[in-house]
Amino acid sequence: MTEDIKTTPPASVTPAEKDDNALGRRGFFRWMTVGWIAFSAATGGFFTVIVRFLFPNVLFEPPQTFKAGFPNDYASNFVDTRYKKKFNVWMVRDEESIFALSTVCTHLGCTPNWLGTENKFKCPCHGSGFRMTGINFEGPAPRPLERYKISVATDGQILVDKTKSFKWEKGEWENAESFLKV
Amino acid sequence: MENKNKKSFLERMGESQVWKSIIRSGVPRSRRQRMQAILGSVFLHLHPARIPKHAVKIGYTWCMGGLSFFLFIVLTITGLLLMFYYRPTVEYAYTDIIDMAEQVPLGIMRELHRWGAHAMVLTVWLHMLRVFMTGSYKPPREFNWGVGVLLMTLTMFLSFTGYLLPWDQLAIWAITVGTNMARAHPFIGHEGPGASLLAIGDINLVHAGSDVRFALLGGRFVGEASLLRFYVLHCIGVPFITMILMAVHFWRIRKDGGISGPL
Amino acid sequence: MLQTIKDIIDILSAPTVSFTFLTVAFPFVFPPTDWFEKIHRKFGIWRLWTKPGFYGGMFAITFFFVVGYFDPNFHVTLTKADNFPIILMIYSMFITIWWSMYQAYLNDERLENGLKPNEYNDPDDKVLVWPDLVYIEFIALILFMVFLIVWSILVAAPLEEPANPAATPNPSKAPWYFLGLQEMLVYFDPWIAGIVFPMFIIIGMMAIPYMDINKKGDGYYSFKERRIGMFIFMYGWLVLWLFLIVIGTFFRGPNWNFFGPFEYWDAHKVVPLNNVNLSEYIWVKTLGTGLPANILIREGIGFLVLVAYMGILPILLAKSWLKNYFQEIGPVRYTFIMLFGLSMLALPIKMYMRWLFNLKYIIAIPEWFFNI
């Protein structure tokens, strides 16, 4: 009995019995290739469609540029919080320049508060602190606040463009567009 | 004594054609009928017909897995009812939340939903703790422990997506902080390590308008689109995945030999 | 008298003190080796897992909350509707952990005497699900529903002011079950604390059954048979997750400053947090030169520290202290255990480096958003 079980099945198709319609080894691999390409194209395509669907072409967001009054409106060494609520920008004037600081904490995007008495921005979420210039000095924030592009419009008012930002750690605060000389 | 042969109302009901068509085993009295009652019910046959003695001890199971499932059902029902009143738009969301408490009779549906959600996080944690304390994750139940960890994560994510919907201060700032973590995701978040490597020449492929945070929020800031996306995830997307994993979780309990116990 | 107690609790609950206390006391409460076990027995710490320990623990927690309820400062935090789940969490976690350890010690004793654990029943002696289990489930469900309805009637679901993207509330807290993560964010960069560590927690938890190859203690409460695994898990769960949630809920106030539970939340409390990177320590403070322009040279020491911690330390351990263990579990398991274990340990290490040296980052490359 045991020998019966052990006998191997007859050897695979011998050339003599080969059917003309049967798929040869080569043909098999050819079809496999076509099959796999079709499979990858279908899944890959479907996946691409899904991912791309998450990113609309048009965004309905508030305008990214605004006018922030005349340079002489600002006293030196003063942080102006007027534009914080509407545009998420602090207008800061130090001794020699005016710049537009982003109100987005570089840690996790909360909005810090300007504490005039302590002369610093303090984030309520995780306690990051920034100096008036935007340089981070305490708490977990990894880098300084970003500055926005600032220029003088034709009517003499300051024009802040939030679509372009300048990062200190990349040396971009040297860029002439990141501040206004006064 | 004279009533000895008189059958009670319940007994007669149990022998009626209607009852027998629904529950074929009749009133579960004999051992066989009781086992049939479990095996013949689509809901109850989640359980085996007989289980080890320690499995019915509250001291062993704390009932926490069952309560988590029960809370999931409660949250599905209450959530469904809340959807009748709630509109996921920046304009209406907050006022709809107030309305459903004040303009709807017995308006504790939101309380049931919110506290139920908190309770579910807790019951899931306690269930996990019990399974660890009794060493029930050990073979052959390794896979089901993994499914359970995923279910726990999904429970917390469900709770998190629900947080945004009232559109109050707590909501948007919790979501702001939460999604800004996605911004720091390596490679696919625009402020994550490695993102700047994915660039062709000067053009960054991963920026604020194309990273994983954008996909979550539907924009660069928390706004109208984010509310809608979190609403859909909260009501359909995540519960759907959770239900599939729950089915696997329950099925595997049976397949892995029922409740764990000493050999 | 009460005021003194409050002051003492305020001081003790500072993260530096309470975290240190918990970490040092932990191996004596959940003894992982014979030596700790000896002290655990000698000083009667084991009594925590007996009935008097239960009453003591419940009394301590209740005392804390009752005193807090009548304290004008703590009352505000304690009675916030959203904090009620945390009170539930503290009680339920204490009760369940105590119960598990109580049962475990009873079982340990039985096993030592050659008996079967308490949960053991004759495999042939089974009970019917109908009615024994179905009724228990039904009763549990009804009781829980009653609890939930009463809770919902008594406590209104919180609703804050309408969303205002310009004003962040101070303090601004994540949902309570994420406060452990939020606390980690204080010490680590977002990509570590927000992405890598959560991933490691999920994957590491899923990997527990594959890393813990100890076959004993399956299906019943026990401690001694699996004390090392138990110790590691409980440290992560109790101290690094639940305790950080408690800190985040009760002890973190405006500007994410630390406040004792009975302390007034003064938004103008000034706490100096001048943090310094490792590279600044080395180049500026020690060598007295400026930071090198080349980023990789600047952060070279940081990379060395990282490689030594995650790469060389496990190899050294495998050859010395953990030699037998390494041979028992093999290189693949060992690698993963070290990866998850050392990452977990990195959290308290980083916390202490922040507290002791104001160390901000070991590797600080904000240019690439790569900070560790």
DSSP per-residue letters across B4-39 = TTPPPHHHHHHHSHHHHHHSTT-SS-SHHHHHHHHH
Nearest C-alpha in A relative to C252: A126
Q: Tokens in use for C195?
A: 């992405």
pLDDT of res. A42 = 96
Using a CB-CB cut-off of 8 Å, the residues of chain C touching B75 are none
Cβ A127 vs Cβ A119: under 8 Å: no
A78 in a structural domain:
yes
- Chains linked to C by 3 or more Cβ pairs within 8 Å: A, B
Q: Determine the Cα–Cα distance for residues C290 and A25; give it in Å rounded to an integer.
A: 69
In three-state secondary structure terms, C195 is: helix
Question: Does the beta-carbon distance from B221 to A51 stay under 8 Å?
Answer: no
Q: Tokens in use for B223?
A: 């706004």
Q: Determine the Cα–Cα distance for residues A135 and A145; give it in Å rounded to an integer.
A: 7
C322 in a structural domain:
yes
- Whether residue A72 is found in the same domain as residue A155: yes
- Whether residue C48 is found in the same domain as residue C139: yes
Q: Most B CBs within 10 Å: which of C88, C144, C233, C368, as the mutation test of the B interface?
A: C144
CA distance A108 to chain B (A): 5
Q: Tokens in use for B115?
A: 């506290």
Q: Which of C205, C94, C218, C115 is nearest to B134 (CA)?
A: C218
pLDDT band at residue B212 using 50, 70 and 90 as cut-offs: confident
Q: Most C CBs within 10 Å: which of B134, B157, B165, B207, as the mutation test of the C interface?
A: B134
User: In this prediction, what percent of chain A has a pLDDT beyond 70?
Assistant: 88
Question: Does the beta-carbon distance from A55 to B224 stay under 8 Å?
Answer: no
pLDDT of res. A1 = 45
Q: What is the mean pLDDT of residues A141-157?
A: 88
Decide if B183 touches A, using CB distance below 8 A.
yes
Partner residue facing A108 (CB), from B177, B214, B219: B177
Question: Does the beta-carbon distance from A169 to C273 stay under 8 Å?
Answer: no
- Whether residue C320 is found in the same domain as residue C232: no
pLDDT of res. B188 = 81
Question: Does the beta-carbon distance from A55 to B209 stay under 8 Å?
Answer: yes
- Whether residue A149 is found in the same domain as residue A98: yes
- Chains linked to B by 3 or more Cβ pairs within 8 Å: A, C
Would residue C256 be called left, alpha or beta, if left means φ above 0 and alpha means ψ between -120 and 50 degrees?
A: left
Decide if C299 touches B, using CB distance below 8 A.
no
Nearest C-alpha in C relative to B56: C133
CA distance A127 to chain B (A): 13
Q: In the CATH hierarchy, which fold is given to the domain comprising B51-255?
A: Cytochrome Bc1 Complex; Chain C (1.20.810)
Decide if A170 touches C, using CB distance below 8 A.
yes
Question: Does the beta-carbon distance from C185 to A140 stay under 8 Å?
Answer: yes
C272 in a structural domain:
no
Question: Does the beta-carbon distance from C220 to B261 stay under 8 Å?
Answer: yes
Residue indicated by tokens 């938004």: C267
pLDDT band at residue B177 using 50, 70 and 90 as cut-offs: confident
Cβ B29 vs Cβ B14: under 8 Å: no
Looking up residue A133, the CATH number of its domain turns out to be 2.102.10.10
Partner residue facing B177 (CB), from A56, A61, A110: A110
Task: Name A78's bridge partners.
Answer: A93
* Total of domains in chain C: 2
Per DSSP, the residues of C22-57 read: HHHHHHHHS--SHHHHHHHHHTTGGGGGSHHHHHHH
Q: How many CB atoms lie within 10 A of CB B25?
A: 20
pLDDT of res. A4 = 52
Question: Does the beta-carbon distance from A108 to C185 stay under 8 Å?
Answer: yes
Q: Is the predicted pLDDT of residue A15 greater than 60, yes or no?
A: no
Partner residue facing B221 (CB), from A55, A56, A61: A61
DSSP state of A134: S
Q: Which of A126, A121, A125 is nearest to A102 (CA)?
A: A121
Give me the interface pTM, i.e. the ipTM.
0.95
Q: Is the predicted pLDDT of residue B26 greater than 80, yes or no?
A: no
Q: Determine the Cα–Cα distance for residues B227 and B175; give it in Å rounded to an integer.
A: 10
Task: Using alpha carbons only, give the angle B139, B248, B254 rounded to the nearest 5 degrees.
Answer: 55
- Whether residue C145 is found in the same domain as residue C213: yes
- Which of A156-160, B9-13, C81-85, C327-331 is predicted least confidently? B9-13
User: In this prediction, what percent of chain B has a pLDDT beyond 70?
Assistant: 98
- Inter-chain Cβ pairs, chain A and chain C, closer than 8 A: 79
C341 in a structural domain:
yes
Q: How far is CA B67 from CA B15, B45, B72, B119, B258, in A?
A: 34, 18, 8, 9, 18
User: In this prediction, what percent of chain A has a pLDDT beyond 90?
Assistant: 12
Q: Determine the Cα–Cα distance for residues B61 and B66; give it in Å rounded to an integer.
A: 9
pLDDT of res. C106 = 94
Nearest C-alpha in C relative to B221: C165
For C144, the domain range is: 2-120+129-157+172-256
Question: Does the beta-carbon distance from A109 to B177 stay under 8 Å?
Answer: yes
Question: Does the beta-carbon distance from A127 to C270 stay under 8 Å?
Answer: no
Q: What is the mean pLDDT of residues B238-254?
A: 96
Decide if A109 touches C, using CB distance below 8 A.
no
Long-range contacts of B141-148 (CB under 8 A, 24+ apart): B141/B252, B141/B256, B141/B260, B141/C209, B142/C209, B142/C210, B143/B252, B143/B256, B144/B249, B144/B252, B144/B253, B144/B256, B145/C206, B145/C208, B145/C209, B146/C206, B146/C209, B147/B245, B147/B248, B147/B249, B147/B252, B148/B249
CA distance A169 to chain C (A): 6
Decide if A53 touches B, using CB distance below 8 A.
no
pLDDT of res. A16 = 54
- Whether residue C36 is found in the same domain as residue C112: yes
When comparing pLDDT for B94 and C358, which is higher?
B94
Partner residue facing A127 (CB), from C166, C168, C273: C273
Partner residue facing C367 (CB), from A118, A140, A169: A169
Nearest C-alpha in A relative to C169: A124
Using a CB-CB cut-off of 8 Å, the residues of chain A touching B176 are 108-110
- Which of B9-23, B223-237, C16-30, C336-350 is predicted least confidently? B9-23
pLDDT of res. A17 = 55
Q: Tokens in use for B221?
A: 């800031």
Decide if A141 touches C, using CB distance below 8 A.
no
Q: How many CB atoms lie within 10 A of CB C38?
A: 11
Residues of chain C with pLDDT under 70: 272-273
* Total of domains in chain A: 2
Question: Does the beta-carbon distance from A61 to B218 stay under 8 Å?
Answer: no
Q: Is the predicted pLDDT of residue B153 greater than 70, yes or no?
A: yes
- Whether residue A34 is found in the same domain as residue A82: no
Question: Does the beta-carbon distance from C191 to B189 stay under 8 Å?
Answer: yes
Residue indicated by tokens 């059917």: A19
For A138, the domain range is: 65-181
Using a CB-CB cut-off of 8 Å, the residues of chain A touching B221 are 61
- Which of A148-152, B135-139, C157-161, C273-277 is predicted least confidently? C273-277
Using a CB-CB cut-off of 8 Å, the residues of chain C touching B166 are 159
Interface of C with B in 319-358 (CB under 8 A): none
CA distance A166 to chain C (A): 12
Per DSSP, the residues of A50-112 read: HHHHTS-S------SEEE---GGGSPTTEEE-TTHHHHSEEEEE-SSEEEEEE-S-TTTS---
C30 in a structural domain:
yes
Decide if B199 touches C, using CB distance below 8 A.
no
Listed by start position, the domains of chain B span 13-50, 51-255
Question: Does the beta-carbon distance from C170 to A113 stay under 8 Å?
Answer: yes
Q: Which of C52, C46, C26, C27 is nearest to C109 (CA)?
A: C46
pLDDT band at residue A10 using 50, 70 and 90 as cut-offs: low
Cβ C200 vs Cβ C333: under 8 Å: no
CA distance B120 to chain A (A): 26
User: Hey, which of B41-45, B166-170, C198-202 has the most confident mean pLDDT?
Assistant: C198-202
Question: Does the beta-carbon distance from A124 to C256 stay under 8 Å?
Answer: yes
Question: Does the beta-carbon distance from C166 to A117 stay under 8 Å?
Answer: no
Q: Which of B44, B173, B234, B172 is nearest to C128 (CA)?
A: B44
- Whether residue C9 is found in the same domain as residue C146: yes
Question: Does the beta-carbon distance from B38 to C148 stay under 8 Å?
Answer: no
Nearest C-alpha in B relative to C207: B146
A17 in a structural domain:
no
pLDDT band at residue A181 using 50, 70 and 90 as cut-offs: confident
- Whether residue C133 is found in the same domain as residue C220: yes
Helix residue ranges per DSSP H, C43-162: 51-70, 72-78, 84-112, 134-154
Amino acid (1-letter code) at residue C360: K
pLDDT of res. C183 = 87
Q: Which of B247, B62, B71, B88 is nearest to B155 (CA)?
A: B71
Question: Does the beta-carbon distance from B214 to A61 stay under 8 Å?
Answer: no
Non-local (6+) Cβ contacts of C201 within 8 A are none
Which segments of chain B are extended strands (E)? 50-52, 199-200, 203-204
Using a CB-CB cut-off of 8 Å, the residues of chain C touching A108 are 185, 190, 194
Using a CB-CB cut-off of 8 Å, the residues of chain C touching A123 are 168, 255-256
- Whether residue A105 is found in the same domain as residue A35: no
CA distance A161 to chain B (A): 16
Decide if B185 touches A, using CB distance below 8 A.
no
Decide if B100 touches C, using CB distance below 8 A.
no
C270 in a structural domain:
no
pLDDT digit string (tens) for A61-108? 777 888 888 888 888 888 888 888 888 889 998 888 888 999 888 877
Question: Does the beta-carbon distance from B153 to C202 stay under 8 Å?
Answer: yes
A3 in a structural domain:
no
Q: How far is CA B239 from CA B86, C160, C366, in A?
A: 18, 26, 38
- Whether residue C133 is found in the same domain as residue C57: yes
- Chains linked to A by 3 or more Cβ pairs within 8 Å: B, C
Decide if B248 touches C, using CB distance below 8 A.
no
A18 in a structural domain:
no
